[in-house]
Amino acid sequence: MSAQAWQSLAAGEVLRGRELVGQELTGLTWESAGLVDCLCEECTFTSCNFSMTALTDTRFIDCTFVGCKMLAVNWTATGAGSLLAQPLRFERCRLDGATFTGLDLAGFTFRDCQLVDVDFTEASVRRVDFGGSNLSGARFSNTDLRDADLRGTRGLAMDPRDNRLKGARIDMDAAPGLLEVFGLTIT
């Protein structure tokens, strides 16, 4: 289906059963709308607004999101395994309040993103690049962060005893958020 068939939706509107492959979409607004049983493969979304969009049984495969606003999106509703076919890339996106609980996000990229109050509880974020992102209030509990790149992040706070961190890369900006639970500060 062509990109022209994908248009902005008003709050409460639903787009069902559509496919989009290899397209670039810019400036679409789907705030508080719904995508049901849709497929987006090898697409690039630039400056789109997905805030509070319901993604029921919708798959994004090998897609890139640049400068998108995706507040309070529940990614767990995409359907078991569907989000995970190929890693997704988020660059300079706002994902505040999003939920990735229990999902396998191995190899995803969240570069220079706002991830404030995002829930990564029980998720696998192995080899994820969080470089330059704001993780203030992000929840990590029983999260697999092995080989994740946390360099340049801000606001990181987690209990290293409650998460798997082997091979994770951090710098001095991220380190205080791992030591806080032990009552230690870096000066």
Number of structural domains in the chain: 2
State how far the Cα of 42 lies from the Cα of 39, in Å rounded to an integer: 10
Residue 40 is part of a domain; what is its CATH number? 2.160.20.80
Compute the distance between CA of residue 82 and CA of residue 71 in angstroms, rounded to an integer: 20
**pLDDT value at residue 169:** 95
| Mean pLDDT value across residues 24-40 | 92
Take residue 171 and report the two structure tokens written for it: 């710098």
For residue 130, tell me if it sits in a domain.
Answer: yes
Looking at the fold, whether 79 and 119 belong to one and the same domain comes out as no
140 within a domain of the structure (yes/no): yes
* Residue 72 is assigned to a structural domain of this protein: yes
The predicted-structure confidence for 111-141, as pLDDT tens digits, reads as follows 999 999 999 999 999 999 999 999 999 999 9
Domain containing residue 149: 108-186
Q: Are residues 181 and 123 in the same domain?
A: yes
Distance CA 108, CA 89 (A): 6
Averaged pLDDT of the chain: 89
Q: Name the band, by pLDDT with cuts 50, 70 and 90, for residue 86.
A: confident
